[in-house]
Structures are given as C-alpha cells and as structure tokens.
Amino acid sequence: MQQLKTFKHVHAHDDDESVQKLLSAWIKAVERYTKAFKDNPWWYNERASLSVLAGAAWTLKDWFALEEFSTIKRMRTLTPGVDEGHLRNGRCDLFICNPDESIAIEAKQAVQRIGVRADGETYMNKALKAAWDDTGDLGHWEANRRFAVTFVVPTIPLSEVRIGAGKRLQICPDKVKASLNRWLTDEPYFPGWSLKPTQFAYIFPKLGSPDYVDGHRYFPGIVVIFDERLRANQVRRPTEASDMKVALA
C-alpha cells in the first residue's frame, strides 16, 4: 500500500525566532495527532485548534501556555481614530511565554470552501477581521506582543477529488494537491487585516486519506495565520521577501 504524503510549510520572518519555533512545533503536534488516530484536530472548532497550538508551545523547552485566562479588556469606542475606552472583565484566548518574550493571542477559526466554484476567501477574511478586532481589546500590559491568530480549514467538494463511484470511498491525492495549490497560489502570503506581512504555517497530512471526509466535502488540513498587532510606539523593521525564513516538507 502506497504511503500517503504530507504537504506542509512554515513561513516566518527571518528575525522572529519565537514564531518560527512555535509554528514548527504546531506542525509536529498536528502530525502527531493524525498519526495516532484516524481523525484530525481541525474539523472540530476554534477551541480544539487553539488547544493544539497551546500543546505545541508546551513541547518547547522553557515555554509555557495558558488558555482562556481572565484579564481586563478595553470597551470598544465608537469614536473614529480614538484608541481608548472603559475597562471590563474578559478573557484572553491564549497566553504563551518563553525565556525571551510573552505573547497574547486572540483567535478565530474559519471553515473556508475552496475548489472550482468557491472564492476561497470570504469566511477566512471575516475570521481575520474578528481576530484582529479582538486583539485591539487587549491592554498593553497583557504581554510583550499581541497576535491575531486565524485558523483556516479549507474544504473541497467531494466530487472534485473522489475517484470512482463505488461503495469504497477513494480520494485522489493528486486532485487534492492540485486544488490546494490553486488556492495557495491565489493566497500566497495570506495577508492579514493589518495589511502587513503575516507569518503562517499549513499542514495537509496524508493527502487523499478517506478519514478526512465529512458528508459531501473533504477537509484536507489546516492553516494558521499570525497577524501581529503592534502598539503605537512600536516600530518593526519592514520585512522584505528576501528576509523570510521558509521551511518546506
């Protein structure tokens, strides 16, 4: 029996070692789960996906992670251009800390249809904006850095990737890869709501596995997008294409 291939990729700023390590650990965590079970962690919900990211952080030496911790957030103001508001009790989705810095994360998840007839971005863009808005509610005291994190679960019509029409369900790995490549060509750098270069990773394990079918759609894997929200007094050096650190399978 031919072993199914895994399609994975990490795209991080060359000077951002923390995010590079976290994204790489996240890919390993997803792979570990899919190798252990005939299941996947991405077709449940945002909470499940966030727990995988938190678990990935814990696998790194001297890294720590806390989910859903109580915090103080700002009430959103309706005055254009004014970044202020009353304080309120709230929760931050995920706090990650390593010996060098701390990271506060607000996350959203989108199930995004891709394929011949899909636009490939509508629900993803809504999730990107929602995560970005939520990071704006975090106070400056929460962590050294704030990230809007969006998990994107692409889904393909089964009719576009299925082989044959018999009772035994078979998925064509080449058709799955082709559909993903078309989508990734349209969204090569996953621009975030900040309109600044994002950092991201994706993993599509065991391409063609029938374990990832639900109803009439195929769920091949997951993308995670990190969009950093800088404070007004923070200036990060513009990142050129040549400054990107890339890890490919």
Helices (H), 2-139: 17-36, 46-58, 122-135
**Strand, coil or helix: what is 60?**
coil
Q: Measure the CA–CA gap between 189 and 211, rounded to whole angstroms.
A: 28
For the chain, how long is the longest CA-to-CA vector?
A: 62
- Per-residue pLDDT tens for 226-237? 999 997 644 444
Note the pTM of the prediction, 2 decimals: 0.86
Percent over 70 (pLDDT), the chain: 84
The reported pLDDT for the residue numbered 139 is 81
Is pLDDT of 138 > 80? yes
DSSP tag of 175: H
Percent over 90 (pLDDT), the chain: 71
**Strand, coil or helix: what is 160?**
helix
6 vs 142, higher pLDDT: 6
Q: Which two tokens stand for residue 12?
A: 């991080």
Q: Which two tokens stand for residue 140?
A: 């400056």
